[in-house]
Amino acid sequence: GNSVTQMEGPVTLSEEAFLTINCTYTATGYPSLFWYVQYPGEGLQLLLKATKADDKGSNKGFEATYRKETTSFHLEKGSVQVSDSAVYFCALNGGFKTIFGAGTRLFVKA
């Protein structure tokens, strides 16, 4: 079946550092891939998405590229801010339901 694996956290960075959160997936067919962000006490928000191979999703300085050859969708940001502290979820949808990774907690220190 479909599955998503993302790097365990927590990830702790200083402000303005470069961020990478790794995500790999297993799926049949051609799923759509997503990153969601969850701030404390809130629901998940869609951060970015990519629907086919080599697509790059981007939003608020975050980027991720759909790599079919490595079955990966790593999240990157060039310069993180304290306000980026949250839990980040990689997810895939192969039709009818979205499967989420376990989440990676990010702490950004001033």
Q: Which residues bind other proteins (CB under 8 A)?
A: 31-32, 34, 36, 38, 41-46, 49, 51, 87, 89, 93-100, 102-103, 105
CB of 102 to other proteins, least distance (A): 6
Distance CA 8, CA 88 (A): 11
CA 68, 74, 32, 94 dihedral sign is: positive
Cis check: omega of the bond before 10, within 30 degrees of 0: yes
Least distance in Å: CB of 16 to other proteins?
Answer: 26
> Smallest distance, Å, CB 23 to other proteins?
14
